[in-house]
Chain A
Amino acid sequence: MTTVEPTVPGSYDGFATSLPTPTSRWSRLARRQGWTAGVAALLAVLLVWRVSQLPKFGAFEIRTITAGTMTLALLAMAQGVIVISGGIDLSVGSMMVFGNCLSALWMPDRGLAGCLLVAVAVIAITAALATLIGAIITASGVPDIIVTLAASFVLAGMALWVLDAPRSGVSADFQRLVAGRLDNPWPSVLWIGGVLLVLWLPLRRSRLGLAIYALGSDRKAAFLSGVQIAWTRVLAYTAGGVFSGCAGVALTASTGGGGPLASTGTTATLNSVAAVVLGGVALTGGIGGLVGPVLAALCLTLIPAIMLGLGWDPSNAETARGVIIILVVAVAGLLQLRRTRPS
Chain B
Amino acid sequence: MSDVTPIAAATTEESTQVVAEIVRETVRPGWRTRLAEQPALVLAGVLVVLYAVTVWKDDSLLTVNGVRSILLLACPLAVFAASQTLCMLTGGVDLSVAMTANFAAYVAANQSGRGPWIALAMALGVGVGVGAVNGLAVGVFKVNPLIMTIGMASVLLGVVTVGLRGWLAGSTDVLDVVRTVGSGTLIGPLPTNLLVWTGISLVLVLGLRSSGLGRVIYAVGDNQIACRLAGVRVWQVLLAVYVLSGLLAAIGGLLFSGTTGSVGVDQTNSYLLPSVAATVIGGTSILGGTGGYTGTILGALILTVLNRLLLRLEVSEAFRQILYGLIVLALAWSYVRLTGQKVREGGG
Taking beta carbons and an 8 Å cutoff, which residues of A are in contact with B?
A: 88, 136, 138, 140-143, 145-147, 149-161, 164, 219-220, 222-224, 229-230, 262-263, 266, 270, 273-274, 277, 283, 313, 315-323, 325-326, 329-330, 333-334, 337
Q: How far is the CA of A315 from the CA of B347 in the complex (A)?
A: 47
B237 on interface, CB distance cutoff 8 Å: no
CB pair B347–A157 under 8 Å, yes or no, is: no
Q: A141-B336, A273-B147 are in contact. Are A153 and B286 (CB under 8 A)?
A: no
On chain A, the residues within 8 Å of B151 by CB distance are 274, 321-323, 325-326, 329
What's the nearest-Cβ distance from chain A to residue B90, in Å?
15
What's the nearest-Cβ distance from chain A to residue B77, in Å?
15
CB pair A229–B346 under 8 Å, yes or no, is: yes
Q: A152-B325, A160-B318, A277-B147 are in contact. Are A146 and B280 (CB under 8 A)?
A: yes
Q: A150-B328, A156-B321 are in contact. Are A223 and B347 (CB under 8 A)?
A: yes
On chain B, the residues within 8 Å of A147 by CB distance are 329, 332
Closest 10 pairs (CB-CB, A-B): A157-B321, A153-B325, A223-B346, A319-B158, A318-B158, A322-B154, A141-B342, A322-B155, A154-B325, A157-B322
**Which one of B137, B162, B346 lies within 8 Å of A316 (CB-CB)?**
B162
Q: Nearest B residue to A153 by beta-carbon distance?
A: B325
What's the nearest-Cβ distance from chain B to residue A274, in Å?
8
**Which one of A140, A155, A161, A329 lies within 8 Å of B148 (CB-CB)?**
A329
Q: How far is the CA of A277 from the CA of B147 in the complex (A)?
A: 9
**Which one of B150, B319, B344 lies within 8 Å of A325 (CB-CB)?**
B150
On chain B, the residues within 8 Å of A329 by CB distance are 143-144, 147-148, 151
Q: A223-B346, A318-B154, A322-B152 are in contact. Are A153 and B328 (CB under 8 A)?
A: yes
Q: How far is the CA of A229 from the CA of B348 in the complex (A)?
A: 11
Q: Nearest A residue to B279 by beta-carbon distance?
A: A146
Q: Nearest B residue to A319 by beta-carbon distance?
A: B158
On chain A, the residues within 8 Å of B158 by CB distance are 315-322
B320 on interface, CB distance cutoff 8 Å: yes
List residues 251-291 of chain B with CB under 8 A from any CB of chain A. 266, 269, 273, 276-277, 280, 285-287
CB pair B333–A140 under 8 Å, yes or no, is: yes
B161 on interface, CB distance cutoff 8 Å: yes
Q: Given contacts A263-B269, A334-B142, could you give 20 more A-B pairs where the C-beta distance is less than 8 Å?
A: A88-B146, A140-B332, A140-B333, A141-B342, A143-B286, A146-B332, A153-B321, A161-B316, A161-B318, A161-B319, A161-B322, A283-B147, A313-B161, A316-B158, A318-B161, A319-B157, A322-B155, A322-B157, A329-B147, A329-B148
B326 on interface, CB distance cutoff 8 Å: yes
B249 on interface, CB distance cutoff 8 Å: no
Q: A143-B286, A334-B141 are in contact. Are A150 and B318 (CB under 8 A)?
A: no
Q: A143-B286, A145-B93, A273-B150 are in contact. Are A153 and B322 (CB under 8 A)?
A: yes
